[in-house]
Structure 1
Amino acid sequence: MAKTIYDKPTRALLKDMLAAWDLKPGQVFTSSRAVEWFSTNYPKLKPVTIRAHLVQASTNDKNRLHHPSTNETDDILFKVDTGQYRLYEAGKDPSPIHELVQGDVERQEQQVAADTEEGEADEPLAGSSEFLLEKDLQRYLVENLECIEPGLRLYEEEDIRGVEFEAGSGRRIDILAVDRNNSLIVLELKVSRGYDRVVGQLLRYMNWVRKEVADPGQRVRGIIICRTMSEDLRLACASIRDVELCEYRLSVTVSKVPALELPS
């Protein structure tokens, strides 16, 4: 469990907030009101952390599945609209979302469609040196961040992890990490070839992190990781401070196992 800033974790403080408001069934409140309450009572918690916990507590928000610590104790809210919530009513509201549909087919299809837009994705061949899906690359890097640079670790605060990290307006950062100097690192992943259009996306995420997540004076860096870099992407990043480019390689070795000798 991630280290908590206060004596109670944020998910428990969220319940304290609802109790203090004494909400009645059907009464709607906004995320802004929640952020204001925490700002008054627990000012060390960032607004982005509060909003992430509202998502985690919303039984009908599929984005809660991006938070692996979500469980039945978080089934307390129902999302009415963007930034609007009410108390969850068991037996009246749909059952809480607790797991992905097997294979998460819809998400994979959307990812494939995005990767193949304008013919940017190359079809992986048998024995290819690239991951089939961006999700596979993401999962591998989350578990092996030090292969990018020593001391790199996943961002974690109040049970919120830096995987598919919500960055406002429905956007999500592939991986948000922290380096050994406590700088925040925005990782943007492309499973195949990287093109220059990704630069604008990365810079938007970096500046959002500077505005919403970083402490005063905390450095924010960006890293683009893909199988191969286009020359346009290399040129676009040539003079951008705090942006680095990395290419990944997969390697599989197959060795024959000697036949077992059986008695004749």
Structure 2
Amino acid sequence: MARTIYEKATRALLADMLVDLGLKPGQVFTTSRAIEWFEQHYPKLQPSSIRAHLVQASTNDRSRLHHSSMNASDDLLFKVDSGLFRLYEPGKDPAPIHELVPGDVAREEEITAAMEDDDEDRGALVGSSEFLLERDLQRYLAENLECIEPGLKLYEADGVRGIEFEAGGGRRIDILAVDRTGAFVVLELKVSKGYDRVVGQLLRYVNWVRQNLAETGQRVRGIIVCRTMSEDLRLACASIPDVDLFEYQLSVTVSRVAALDVHEGRRALGGEQN
């Protein structure tokens, strides 16, 4: 069971907030209003945790699938826009997103978006040496962080996991982890070639974690993972402390399986009957 700061889990406190605010169907509230309510009633909770629970409770936000503890009791909200929510209305709103199955509309949208993202990142197709989607790479690494370094594990606090971790302004950290020394580790992922522009994105997240999550003196470092590193990216990171670069490789081995001799089986059956 995940550790909770208060006697009630944050998901239950969020439900209490909705009752306390006296929201009516169709009435919209903001992320800021939710954070203000928690600051008044449960000040120990981090704004990042509150944002993550708003996502988890939003029936139409696919990012809720990154929360492994998500269940039907979290079907509380409908996301109207970035930072805007209202109460979920069963029968009126689309059915809550609980899982993605192969071939569904959401999955097709993800694939289309991935292929249209950047000219430099196109070409990560089936049969190549790359993951098809950044989300596939993200999922694999989140479950196998020790392949990067021993003792590295996914950050988790108050039921919030470090996948697509809310970092303010609608931004999300690909993976937020903790190493064996207790330092925060921010992972930025690219399925294809890594370019120098990713450095600014990583450093923004690293400093956001320093400002919002890290204790005084707690180390925060960054890791960039991609299939190949551009020379510009390597040069850009050459003098930046606490930033490491990793390239991934995929390997698939296929072995032929001997075919069954169905005629031999018929002969054996015929012999038994005689």
Which range, TM-score by smaller chain?
0.7 to 0.9
State how far apart, in whole Å, the 2-side matches of 1:123 and 1:252 are.
16
Q: Does 1:235 align with 2:238?
A: no
Q: How does 1:219-234 map to 2 (within 5 A)?
A: 219-234=219-234
Match of 1:196 in 2: 196
Instruction: Check conservation: 2:116, 2:122, Cα contact below 8 A.
Output: no
Quick one: structure 1 residues 62 and 146, their matched pair in 2 at CA, closer, same or farther if it must change by over 3 Å? closer
State how far apart, in whole Å, the 1-side matches of 2:90 and 2:136 are.
36
Render the CA deviation track for 1:178-216: whole Å, top value 9, x for unaligned: 111111111111222211111111112212222233333
Offset at residue 218 of structure 1 (A): 2.3
Match of 1:56 in 2: 56
SS in 1 for 2:192: strand
Q: Which amino acid letter does the alignment assign opposite residue 76 of structure 2?
A: I
- TM-score when normalising by structure 2: 0.83
SS in 2 for 1:43: coil
Instruction: Check conservation: 1:121, 1:193, Cα contact below 8 A.
Output: no
Instruction: Check conservation: 1:167, 1:205, Cα contact below 8 A.
Output: yes
- TM-score when normalising by structure 1: 0.86
Q: How does 1:62-77 map to 2 (within 5 A)?
A: 62-77=62-77
Quick one: structure 1 residues 131 and 22, their matched pair in 2 at CA, closer, same or farther if it must change by over 3 Å? closer
Instruction: Check conservation: 1:71, 1:98, Cα contact below 8 A.
Output: yes
Match of 1:113 in 2: 116
Q: Which amino acid letter does the alignment assign opposite residue 232 of structure 1?
A: D
Q: How does 1:199-210 map to 2 (within 5 A)?
A: 199-210=199-210
5+ residue gaps, structure 1, are none
Identity across the alignment (%): 69
Match of 2:141 in 1: 141
Render the CA deviation track for 1:67-107: whole Å, top value 9, x for unaligned: 23222111222334433333333334443333336340111
5+ residue gaps, structure 2, are 269-274
Match of 2:271 in 1: none
SS in 1 for 2:206: helix
State how far apart, in whole Å, the 2-side matches of 1:144 and 1:256 are.
29
Quick one: structure 1 residues 74 and 120, their matched pair in 2 at CA, closer, same or farther if it must change by over 3 Å? closer
State how far apart, in whole Å, the 2-side matches of 1:253 and 1:161 are.
33
State how far apart, in whole Å, the 2-side matches of 1:166 and 1:202 are.
14
How many residues align? The count is: 261
Q: RMSD in angstroms over aligned alpha carbons?
A: 2.7
Instruction: Check conservation: 2:138, 2:175, Cα contact below 8 A.
Output: yes
Render the CA deviation track for 1:222-264: whole Å, top value 9, x for unaligned: 1011122121111100001110011122233445667889799
Q: Which amino acid letter does the alignment assign opposite residue 69 of structure 1?
A: S
